[in-house]
Protein backbone atom coordinates (compact mmCIF):
# COMPACT_ATOMS: atom_id res chain seq x y z
CA UNK A 1 0.00 0.00 0.00
CA UNK A 2 1.35 3.42 -0.90
CA UNK A 3 1.59 6.26 1.59
CA UNK A 4 -1.22 8.08 -0.24
CA UNK A 5 -3.46 5.00 -0.12
CA UNK A 6 -2.93 4.73 3.65
CA UNK A 7 -3.81 8.41 4.06
CA UNK A 8 -6.91 7.98 1.88
CA UNK A 9 -7.98 4.96 3.96
CA UNK A 10 -7.68 7.06 7.14
CA UNK A 11 -9.99 9.64 5.54
CA UNK A 12 -12.72 7.00 5.20
CA UNK A 13 -12.85 6.90 9.01
CA UNK A 14 -13.87 10.55 9.42
CA UNK A 15 -17.51 9.68 8.78
CA UNK A 16 -17.42 7.16 11.64
CA UNK A 17 -16.02 9.63 14.16
CA UNK A 18 -18.16 10.53 17.19
CA UNK A 19 -17.14 14.12 17.91
CA UNK A 20 -20.25 16.03 19.10
CA UNK A 21 -18.26 18.22 21.53
CA UNK A 22 -15.20 19.29 19.56
CA UNK A 23 -16.73 18.87 16.09
CA UNK A 24 -13.23 17.78 15.05
CA UNK A 25 -13.41 14.31 13.49
CA UNK A 26 -10.12 12.45 13.16
CA UNK A 27 -9.34 9.27 11.25
CA UNK A 28 -6.36 6.95 11.47
CA UNK A 29 -4.94 3.95 9.63
CA UNK A 30 -2.18 1.95 11.32
CA UNK A 31 -0.17 -0.56 9.31
CA UNK A 32 1.21 -3.55 11.16
CA UNK A 33 4.63 -5.00 10.38
CA UNK A 34 2.78 -7.84 8.64
CA UNK A 35 0.99 -5.39 6.29
CA UNK A 36 -2.44 -5.65 7.94
CA UNK A 37 -4.04 -2.22 8.39
CA UNK A 38 -6.14 -1.27 11.43
CA UNK A 39 -8.36 1.79 11.22
CA UNK A 40 -9.73 4.05 13.91
CA UNK A 41 -11.66 7.23 14.59
CA UNK A 42 -11.94 9.50 17.60
CA UNK A 43 -14.73 8.77 20.06
CA UNK A 44 -15.69 11.58 22.42
CA UNK A 45 -17.63 11.39 25.65
CA UNK A 46 -19.46 13.91 27.84
CA UNK A 47 -16.88 13.01 30.52
CA UNK A 48 -14.03 14.47 28.46
CA UNK A 49 -11.33 12.37 30.12
CA UNK A 50 -13.00 9.27 28.68
CA UNK A 51 -12.45 10.35 25.07
CA UNK A 52 -10.16 8.28 22.86
CA UNK A 53 -8.23 9.50 19.86
CA UNK A 54 -8.35 7.87 16.43
CA UNK A 55 -4.72 6.77 16.70
CA UNK A 56 -5.26 4.96 19.99
CA UNK A 57 -8.48 3.40 18.68
CA UNK A 58 -6.51 1.87 15.78
CA UNK A 59 -3.68 0.85 18.12
CA UNK A 60 -5.98 -0.85 20.62
CA UNK A 61 -7.77 -2.69 17.80
CA UNK A 62 -4.42 -3.93 16.51
CA UNK A 63 -3.17 -5.00 19.94
CA UNK A 64 -6.44 -6.83 20.62
CA UNK A 65 -5.92 -8.76 17.37
CA UNK A 66 -2.37 -9.76 18.37
CA UNK A 67 -0.33 -7.23 16.39
CA UNK A 68 2.54 -5.71 18.38
CA UNK A 69 4.79 -4.11 15.75
CA UNK A 70 3.94 -1.38 13.27
CA UNK A 71 5.33 0.26 10.12
CA UNK A 72 3.24 3.34 9.39
CA UNK A 73 0.41 5.43 10.74
CA UNK A 74 -1.73 7.94 8.86
CA UNK A 75 -3.61 10.59 10.88
CA UNK A 76 -6.10 12.85 9.12
CA UNK A 77 -8.65 15.55 9.83
CA UNK A 78 -10.80 18.17 8.12
CA UNK A 79 -8.49 21.02 9.03
CA UNK A 80 -6.42 23.18 6.67
CA UNK A 81 -3.46 22.38 8.96
CA UNK A 82 -1.95 18.93 9.39
CA UNK A 83 -3.60 16.68 11.98
CA UNK A 84 -0.84 15.94 14.51
CA UNK A 85 -1.04 13.09 17.04
CA UNK A 86 -1.40 14.28 20.63
CA UNK A 87 1.20 13.48 23.29
CA UNK A 88 -0.78 10.56 24.71
CA UNK A 89 -1.00 8.94 21.29
CA UNK A 90 2.70 9.47 20.64
CA UNK A 91 3.53 7.82 23.96
CA UNK A 92 1.20 4.85 23.38
CA UNK A 93 2.64 4.26 19.91
CA UNK A 94 6.22 4.60 21.16
CA UNK A 95 5.63 1.64 23.47
CA UNK A 96 5.39 -0.65 20.44
CA UNK A 97 7.19 1.02 17.52
CA UNK A 98 9.54 3.93 18.25
CA UNK A 99 10.65 3.96 14.60
CA UNK A 100 7.10 4.17 13.23
CA UNK A 101 6.59 6.37 10.17
CA UNK A 102 3.84 8.91 10.85
CA UNK A 103 1.94 10.51 7.97
CA UNK A 104 -0.07 13.56 8.99
CA UNK A 105 -2.54 14.99 6.50
CA UNK A 106 -4.68 18.06 6.04
CA UNK A 107 -8.21 18.26 4.62
CA UNK A 108 -6.83 18.29 1.05
CA UNK A 109 -5.21 14.86 1.54
CA UNK A 110 -1.77 16.47 1.44
CA UNK A 111 0.58 14.93 3.97
CA UNK A 112 4.03 15.13 5.49
CA UNK A 113 6.01 12.22 6.91
CA UNK A 114 8.01 12.05 10.13
CA UNK A 115 9.31 9.27 12.31
CA UNK A 116 7.78 8.84 15.73
CA UNK A 117 11.23 9.50 17.23
CA UNK A 118 11.16 12.92 15.53
CA UNK A 119 7.73 13.64 17.01
CA UNK A 120 8.66 12.28 20.46
CA UNK A 121 12.38 12.84 21.02
CA UNK A 122 13.85 11.13 24.08
CA UNK A 123 10.73 8.97 24.33
CA UNK A 124 10.01 6.84 27.38
CA UNK A 125 9.69 3.17 26.46
CA UNK A 126 10.18 -0.34 27.79
CA UNK A 127 13.97 -0.07 27.45
CA UNK A 128 13.92 2.93 29.78
CA UNK A 129 12.82 0.69 32.65
CA UNK A 130 16.03 -1.33 32.41
Provide the annotated active-site residues.
55
The torsion of the CA quartet 37, 19, 46, 93, rounded to 10 degrees, works out to 30
By C-alpha distance, which of 103, 102, 130, 98 is closest to 117? 98
DSSP character string of 23-36:
---EEEEEEETTS-
Cβ atoms within 10 A of the Cβ of 31, count? 23
- Which 8-state DSSP code applies to residue 3? H
Q: Is 39 left (phi over 0), alpha (psi -120 to 50) or beta?
A: beta
Amino acid sequence: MTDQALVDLAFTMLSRSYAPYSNFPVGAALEGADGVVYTGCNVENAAYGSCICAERTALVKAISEGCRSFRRLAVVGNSPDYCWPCGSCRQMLYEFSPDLEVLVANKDHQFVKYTLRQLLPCGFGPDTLG
